[in-house]
Amino acid sequence: MRLFFAVDFPGELKEEIYQDITPLFKYNGVKWVAKENYHLTLAFLGEKEEGELPQIDRAAKSVPQVNKSLIKVLDFGAFPNLKKPKVLFLKIESPGLLTLAENLRQNLKENNISFDEKPFVPHLTIGRVKEEIKDLALPKFNPKEFSFKNFYLIKSILTPEGPIYEKIKSYEILQNA
């Protein structure tokens, strides 16, 4: 099964973001992410066997909890850049999210659980560019923020219509005060 850890967005925020990015849908050469799939990936584990789940669960449960849970969704960005975008995204700012990702990744390493070790860049992918976009015009984006209390182990089922995400397990991030 294909797995990753992520923070989910509240449903109403997914809708607001979707409404804000609809002017971009005029670009045909982009595979847009379905709004129900908006999330912030903390660590992509890739293909794992059912028997590895207990070890993955232990690693996630032992992640030190964080105090700050505010996430700010700031503005548009692109990998590698806005002049020749391959991936369109929304920039994310969150010290708590950075700490959570760092702690989770460290626990995965300590538990010998392989994952994609590319540097963590907090972002919300909104589209994957399939054909070159000439003169990309980005609408004004109204920054948003929300607090998160959990992160999830998510199973990704690939289909011709796009991925289907299924939350397998939830983990609390906040210290009990």
Is 123 considered catalytic here? yes
Catalytic residue among 88, 123, 126, 173: 123
In what helix (H) or strand (E) does residue 105 lie, and over which residues does it extend? helix 95-110
Catalytic residue among 39, 66, 115, 152: 39
Is 98 considered catalytic here? no
Half-sphere exposure of residue 149: CA atoms within 13 angstroms, side-chain side? 2
Residue 71 CB coordination number (10 Å): 22
Residue 93 CB coordination number (10 Å): 15
Does residue 72 contact residue 91 with C-beta atoms inside 8 Å?
no
* Positions marked catalytic: 39, 123
